[in-house]
Amino acid sequence: MGIPSELRDMWVSRRESFLIASPAEERKIVRTKKCTHEGVIAGFKAASVACVASAVPTLAAVRMVPWAKANLNYVAQALIISAASIAAYFITADKTILECARRNAQLEDSLRNTRQ
């Protein structure tokens, strides 16, 4: 099972390019990784808050509201909580990454204008 070693070695050797990135490209790669990391951290924080914010009313409703007690089993409760967490993660991560990319684009424009 898995990838045969010949294919794996061929794929890995293809990724190593003989081209060397310019300093500008390396800075761009570093900024991209930083933006992605910021997005992951912000998304995790938002997902944590959303998890608590959706878990408390869901679990309270299942205990107190007769309709919820009759119709929401454990799977439904887990789906409600996880859907809110997943949505919060991806929305926040996307917004953070786009904001960071916008900042980087403005930085590059300002650097280009100062050089001219």
| CB-CB contact of 37 with 97 (8 Å) | no
> Token pair of 37, please?
């990391």
pLDDT digit string (tens) for the chain, length 116 residues: 566 777 666 666 655 566 777 887 888 888 889 999 999 999 999 999 999 999 999 999 999 999 999 999 999 999 999 999 999 999 999 999 999 989 988 877 787 778 76
How many structural domains comprise the chain?
1
Is residue 74 domain-resident?
A: yes
Is residue 41 domain-resident?
A: yes
Q: Which residues contact 39 (CB under 8 A, 6 or more apart)?
A: 92, 93, 94, 96, 97, 100
Is residue 17 domain-resident?
A: no
Q: What is the pLDDT of residue 70?
A: 94
Separation CA 26–CA 78 (nearest Å): 43
Is residue 14 domain-resident?
A: no
Is residue 73 domain-resident?
A: yes
Is residue 54 domain-resident?
A: yes
Separation CA 89–CA 99 (nearest Å): 15
Q: Whole domain around residue 75: which residue ranges?
A: 23-114
Is residue 4 domain-resident?
A: no
